[in-house]
Structure 1
Amino acid sequence: MNRSLPEPLRRYYATPSLLERDACGVGFVADLHGRRSHRILRQAIEAVKNCTHRGACSADGKSGDGAGVLTQIPRRLLMRHLRESAREALGRPEDLAVAMLFLPQAEAAATFCRNTMRDTLVRAGFTPLATREVPVDREQLGEFARRTCPRIEQLLVARPSEMPDDECERALYHARRCAERAALQRGIADFYVPSCSARTVVYKGLMVAPQLDRFFLDLADPEYETAIAVFHQRYSTNTFPTWFLAQPFRFLAHNGEINTLQGNVNWMAAREPELQSPLWLRRLKDLFPIIQKGGSDSAMLDNVLELLVNSGRGLLHAMMMLVPEAYQQSDDLDEEIRACFEYHATIMEPWDGPAFIAFSDGLTAAATLDRNGLRPARYWVARDGTVIVGSEAGLVRIPQRDIVAKGRLGPGQMIAVDTERQALLTNETIKREIARRQPYRAWISTHMIRPHEIGVPEAASGAVDWSGEELVRRQKCFGYGSEDLDRILTPMLLESKEPVGAMGDDTPLAVLSEKPQLLYRYFKQRFAQVTNPPIDPLRERLVMSLNTAVGPRACLLDEVDDAARLIKFQSPILTTAEFGWLRRAAALDPRFAHREIDCTFPVAEGPEGLATAVERICQEAEAAVDAGCSL
């Protein structure tokens, strides 16, 4: 430590927790025994206010990137409103469901959206009880937030008493998506439903955390009681701050960035035509597109989590699928848990990137870290059963004598409070329970084909030995120049060294260059602006793998043994021997039927010939898939 620094700075740099300033502030407060109280909400608001420094605000000093809380429905508060407004009586508070609405500022558009939401809920079997204008104090907002503030209302409805809890949540999800689609078809883009549930409600907005309970007057009401409260203070990095993109979303609050976002979005769009579930039947198409346009990476992750949970998977199970830990190279991981992760990797690609996620379905509150552990996450358990998880130490004032356990989440780890079981679930407990739901290990060992384990040679005998003019011709054909050979390939292949070049690169982008380019130079890595992803499978082998599976993928909403019937290579780059074996794989299983497509075109035809060839290749590939080919 530099002794020349002033004492306050020496203390700052000597305290690791003070250095944890990784973007958004997020976490949850929950009562282990499921007891609803106003205290839990107050502690969550205290925590999010203590994360204010993690957020950002505009030049007016008040319009923040966003802050909010996700809680259980405050039944006592809303039942009081129903009594005072002399609305239709509700027999059981448990039958109350709430749609929180951000309506357009224009009266006509607001009326259409309000009526559409009510009508879709009525068609789903719900009984409207009241439309409640959420009490707010707009003077607490900054100028920009006040100018863009939507009309904020709650639609209170009663569910049919015979409707099971999970089916109720499914019906509310479906009704919300139908209403959102209707608004978009009408050309209304500023209609948003922060939550629509019989379990949870979301209060959020374009503000900094200290304004939260001053703007939403409900949050200061002692009759607002909950056993779970997820909180979030946003620091916007990849999208512009708006009321809609403030967090929490309907299930989660997220600190971090999804590096793999474009691939995740493309995969979800590609699998939509194949989605099917007995829980949805024909209603499933009403949910498309699953990932809604205009959302942030966190919002899109929430879209997929919402689908999985409402399609029958448990909350913790779904999050394990979406944000798995690094399981392939972990020597001390239980084999059943490893097989569970490997199975789910066949139907869902990871949403990967630095992430600390707090999430809840109103019954369970949980938190997880990404496989690299690149965001801080601390937890405390109090003697009275209060569990606090957050981005920093000291978010809530609790005497040290009342703390019975504390710690921090490690890479890929998860912690949860199950209010129904009244249990604190550790990472090992969560993953063992989920891994034992199905015989994943047997499914993987029975169906997955690993060429390196069944004797497929890494190199083919009688390989072509090019030399002299033929070698130079081939190198020119594939775009290799003398610099590639001298500066990159020779040090790597002959001297086992890393290629070393200049600090800068003044060559033009491949698409703008007048010189021939290698195919891979037309592609650039897309990564988050805050934290780069691991890209080295040698030095970062614990968290980065080149293993590549090929074959037809099973439906995301199913859980069947046949999903593990894939071919898994150790690298996406196949040797001549591996490629030859793959061409014969159809003889092993008709699921691996393949079609070979000619990817060349006459050079004399120039760019026009290339465009024609690309179109032909796409058409032949589509025809092959329609004919049942998977490779």
Structure 2
Amino acid sequence: MLLPSAAGPGVGFVGELSKQPSRRCVTDALKMLERMTHRGACGCEENTGDGAGILAAMPDGFFGTIMEAAGVRLPPAGQYAVGQVFLPKDQQQRDIAKRVMEAVAADLGHEVLAWRSVPTDNRSLGASAVKVEPAVEQWFVTADGAKHRQLDAEGQLYVLRKLIEAEWSAQGLGYDDAYFCSLSSRTIIYKGQLTPAQVPSYFKDLQHPEFRSYMAIVHSRFSTNTFPSWGRAQPMRTMAHNGEINTLRGNRNWMRSREGVMACEGLGLDKETLQKLTPIVPAWQSDSGSMDGLLELLTRCGRDVAEVMMMLIPEAWQNDKLMDESRRDFYRYHAAIMEPWDGPALVTFTDGRYLGATLDRNGLRPGRYYITSGGRVVMASEVGVVDIPPADVVRKGRLMPGNIFLVDFDEHRVVEDRELKERYSKAKPYNEWVKAAVSMEDIFATVPPEQRERRLLALGAESTANGNGNGHVGALPTNGNGNGKVSAANKEIAPIMALLEPLKAFGYSREALEMLIAPMAKTGAEALGSMGNDAALTAMSSRPRQPFEYFKQLFAQVTNPAIDPFREAIVTSLRCFVGPEGDITTSLPTHARRLELEQPVLTIEECEALKNVSVNDWASRVIYTTWPVAEGPAGMRAALEGICAQAEAAVDAGCAFLVLSDRTFSAERAAVPSLLAVGAVHHRLTDAKKRSRVGLIVETAEVGGVRARG
């Protein structure tokens, strides 16, 4: 068995509390990286790695020396930026990429100071890495432009880079053709499809005695969810981590949808320019690159990097009775606007001033730190990666689940987890803002009891415009013996048929009823069994199967230990927010005004109440998900398109909740599988960037097992 501490990439950092650049900081970081070789991976060629790299503070003295030797005098530190860029090997394509960069820079008022080809040595690289090796160049520009003076230097450089990337895409240059490792006045990144030992030998800059830094993050990659590439190597522009974000697909989709409501007021850009900054989370990137894109945006919009990490990777706050109320209110407020980026991970991060690390809420990755008497700080995914005499260690420990270890270089100290979380928890009146959250009790208070009642209906007892209009769609026959009279046997079998027909219509098998539904009805818990699952793959089954049975969770199984929701209940919660979202780039009291549910499975009364909701001027609409059986299988495709069109029109009309219901099923009308219906609507609205404006509720007879509810 592969334990969590022995699975996953390697990550760590070295820092000087004095903020004085030193050569030792760089050499220690490179030594740390090489000693984490076992954490990385390689292909069939041992000299082609999954990726490795180092993020360092801007080595101003080094660049000043080498550029002056080349006849270029750089401005003082902080007034110029360096772009570390992967460009095409093809000269014509490279020239196109450079012209785009220079044109965008000129448009924004940044002066191009110089170009420099980064000296590299690929003799130690494997054939696969060399085959896709880019041209590595450095681009020197002024940090301050004339067009967006409302932003600080890093904000202006962020806009510059995003607009260049948008223009690259318009020119047909993909992410494998041109890619910014970094563009900053504070930091620079050297990385590639390398092994840890190859990093200093490939990048000759790192061997130069004048290359100094006061901090450095290193990373050795083990590709679990994406293929190795030069651009996917870590560190990313603001972070590096050694785990998996298991919620990545959902995080990406939600971010695509949120782009439709993001104003990014902190950037002060017009809508046309703002549109060019998207996608915030690139679909081609790894989970690390995706999180990095969001972390970068939120910091550029005005939040501190540590505050953003509290948003993205919150503690397990819901069931922690010992947590301060102010901190709980912070997490509760942000849960209303941002779902966690969850998964086993030790995440390191920096913005140049702060250098830190945080651990996932379950503590499924190791993180060890040392602080020395000389003001050195070392954090890594394991011990022994940097040689430190025991007599020099004044403090050491391990990062606890959900905790943040933060170095503040401006204040020359380590900020304690409790202190920084108290700072951000009390920065705004979250205790007042969370009172705007709406509960089901609030909904009930505004919906009369008669509008919340609905008796359990048998087959075809729903009268709607989608049915046949007689109130008894597909009613059961009462004269089954053929003589026109109602027999005693028919009277006895009618109630049974009233149950069996819906079960058949929604794909319930005898096995499911006996082994899953009946035990849950008796005990209120999922049935347990000790036998293995020897059933055939769903796609190879000889009988019809529900869509739920075709899908499984996508995650790196080897490096994800199982979680016991009973014994580890403190780190699990079903609490969720539903309904229109606020703009994640701002902090406003109205963002908490969403429906807060203790768990995502509604009672019939709750569902009926939401159909008649009027709180906060919310409105709801029921969309029926059935289609005429007479149209055959082709009718379902047309029905799905109609459902999606109705959903988008309802959102445009201002509806806050959509109820997708298959209550109109009958012998004449088949139900669209609920998973297909809600999936189609979700992605239609996501593609239109409208998903975050509405909450989806599914009313179906199809969801029987626990897995289907997931």
TM-score normalised over the length of structure 2: 0.81
C-alpha distance in 1 between matches for 2:39 and 2:20: 30
Q: 1:165 to 1:387 in 2, by over 3 A?
A: farther
Partner AA of 1:448 in structure 2: A
Q: Is residue 260 of structure 1 aligned with residue 287 of structure 2? A: no
Partner secondary structure for residue 506 of structure 1: coil
The one of 522, 528, 542 equivalent to 1:499 is: 528
SS in 2 for 1:153: strand
- Deviation at 1:127? 1.7
Structure 2 residue 74 is the aligned partner of structure 1 residue 90 = yes
Task: Kindly state the Cα deviation for residue 534 of structure 1 after the two structures are TM-superposed.
Answer: 6.3
Shift of 1:292: 1.9
Correspondence for 1:589 = 616
CA distance in 2, matches of 1:26, 1:56: 13
Alpha-carbon deviation of 1:44? 0.8
Q: How does 1:23-62 map to 2 (within 5 A)?
A: 23-62=8-47
Question: Which of residues 604, 618, 632 is equivalent to 1:606?
Answer: 632
Distance 1:285 1:329, change over 3 A: same
Contact 1:377–1:389 (Cα < 8 Å) also in 2: yes
Partner of 2:472: none
Per the alignment, residue 475 of structure 2 pairs with none
Other structure's SS at 1:39 match: helix
Q: Do residues 352 (structure 1) and 342 (structure 2) align?
A: yes
Aligned counterparts of 2:540 and 2:269: Cα–Cα separation in 1: 49
Match of 2:351 in 1: 361
Residue identity matched to 1:594? S
Q: CA deviation at 1:80?
A: 1.0
Are 2:260 and 1:298 equivalent residues in the alignment? no
Q: Give the 3-state SS of the residue equivalent to 2:46 in structure 1.
A: coil
Please state how far the C-alpha of 1:518 moved relative to its aligned partner.
4.0
SS at match of 2:340: coil
Specify the SS of the correspondent of 1:209. coil
Conserved? CA contact 1:121–1:172, under 8 Å: no
* 2:99 corresponds to 1:115: yes
User: Once the 2 structures are TM-superposed, how far is the Cα of residue 497 of structure 1 from its aligned partner?
Assistant: 6.7
- Kindly provide the CA deviation profile for residues 473-510 of structure 1, in whole angstroms up to 9, marking residues without a partner as x: 2322322222112111222332567332641242442x
Q: Which residue of 1 aligns with 2:423?
A: 433
Matches of 2:564 and 2:4 in 1, distance apart?
A: 27
Q: Deviations over 1:121-171 (max 9, x none)?
A: 232222222111112222232332233221111011223499879521122
Write the distance in 2 (CA, Å) between the matches of 1:526 and 1:326. Answer: 23
2:439 aligned partner: 450
Alpha-carbon offset, residue 119 of structure 1: 2.5
CA drift at 1:23: 1.7
Structure 1 range deviating more: 484-493 or 394-403: 484-493
1:536 Cα deviation from its structure 2 partner: 6.2
CA distance in 1, matches of 2:412, 2:141: 29
Counterparts in 2 of 1:201 and 1:381: CA distance versus 1, 3 Å: same
**In the aligned structure 2, how far is the partner of 1:452 from the partner of 1:77?**
64
Q: Which residue of 2 aligns with 1:9?
A: none
Structure-2 change in CA distance of 1:513 and 1:601 (3 Å) = farther
1:388 equivalenced with 2:378 (yes/no) = yes
Distance 1:612 1:623 in 2: 17
Preserved contact between residue 97 and residue 168 of structure 2 (Cα < 8 Å): yes
Residue type of the partner of 1:478? F
Alignment of 1:27-426 (within 5 A): 27-87=12-72, 89-160=73-144, 167-189=152-174, 190-278=177-265, 279-282=267-270, 283-426=273-416
Secondary structure in structure 2 of the residue aligned to 1:138 = coil
* Residue 501 (structure 2) aligns with: 473
**CA-to-aligned-CA distance 1:387-439 (integer Å, 9 cap, x gap):** 11101011100101100111111111111101012220122122111111111
Q: Is the 8 A contact 1:22 1:376 kept in 2?
A: no
Residue 69 of structure 1: how far off its partner (Å)? 0.6
Cα offsets for 1:17-56 (capped at 9, x unmatched) = x993222110111112222111111111111111011112
Provide structure 2 residue ranges, at least 5 long, that are not aligned to the other structure. Answer: 459-494, 658-710
Q: Which amino acid aligns with 1:618?
A: C
| Letter matched to residue 142 of structure 1 | G
For the residue of structure 2 that corresponds to 1:20, the secondary structure is: helix
- 1:233-255 Cα offsets, whole Å, 9 max, x none, are 11111222111111101111111
The 1:192–1:461 alpha-carbon spacing in structure 2 relative to 1, beyond 3 Å, is: closer
Q: Which amino acid in the other structure matches residue 118 of structure 1? A: E
Q: Deviations over 1:434-466 (max 9, x none)?
A: 111111121102x01222588789xx8785497
Whole-angstrom CA distance in 1 between matches of 2:163 and 2:457: 62
- d(CA) in 2 for partners of 1:21 and 1:320? 26
CA distance in 2, matches of 1:553, 1:19: 35
C-alpha contact (below 8 Å) 2:623/2:643 kept by paired residues = yes
8 Å contact 2:15–2:377 — kept in the other structure? Answer: yes
Q: For residues 497 and 254 of structure 1, do their structure 2 counterparts lie closer, same or farther at Cα, with a shift above 3 Å needed?
A: closer
Structure-2 residue corresponding to 1:547: 575
Unaligned runs of 5+ in 1: 1-12
Percent identity of equivalent pairs? 39
What SS does the corresponding residue of 1:61 show, helix, strand or coil?
coil
1:578 and 2:613 matched = no
Per-residue deviation at 1:522? 4.5
Per mean C-alpha deviation after superposition, the further-off stretch among 498-507 and 299-308 is: 498-507
Amino acid at match of 1:530: V
Residue 556 and residue 277 in structure 1: after superposition, are their counterparts in 2 closer, same or farther (change >3 A)? Answer: same
Distance 1:144 1:519, change over 3 A: closer
Q: CA deviation at 1:109?
A: 0.7
Return the offset for 1:514: 5.7
* Preserved CA contact (<8 Å) 2:326 2:426: yes
SS of match in other structure, 1:273: coil
CA distance 1:280–1:40, change in 2 (3 Å) = same
Question: Please, which moves more after superposition, 296-305 or 110-119?
Answer: 110-119
d(CA) in 2 for partners of 1:241, 1:508: 30
1:523-562 paired onto structure 2 within 5 Å: 523-532=551-560, 537-562=565-590
- Assess, with a 3 A threshold, how the Cα gap between structure 1 residues 243 and 465 changes in structure 2: closer, same or farther: closer
SS of the counterpart of 2:164?
A: helix
Equivalent residue of 1:483, what SS?
helix
- Show the 5 A alignment for 1:9-24: 20-24=5-9
* Structure 1, 250-259 or 56-65: larger mean CA deviation: 56-65
The answer for the alignment partner of 2:690 in structure 1 is: none
Q: Please give the alpha-carbon distance, in whole angstroms, between the structure 1 residues aligned to 2:99 and 2:278.
A: 22
Residues 155 and 165 (structure 1), Cα distance of their counterparts in 2 relative to 1, 3 Å cut: farther
Deviation readout 1:196-255 (Å, 9 max, x if unpaired): 011110001121112211211111222112111011011111222111111101111111
TM-score normalised to the size of structure 1? 0.91
CA contact (8 A) 1:258 1:528 kept: no
For residues 359-380 of structure 1, what are the alpha-carbon distances to aligned partners after superposition, in whole Å with 9 as ceiling and x for unaligned?
Answer: 1111111111111111111111
Contact 2:454 2:608 in 1 (8 A): no
535 and 620 in structure 1: CA distance in 2 versus 1, 3 angstrom threshold: farther
More deviation, 183-192/106-115: 183-192
RMSD of equivalent CA atoms: 2.5
Q: Which amino acid aligns with 2:373?
A: R
Letter in 2 for 1:500: G
Give the distance between the partners of 2:358 and 2:516, measured in 1 at CA: 40
**What's the CA shift for 1:563?**
0.5
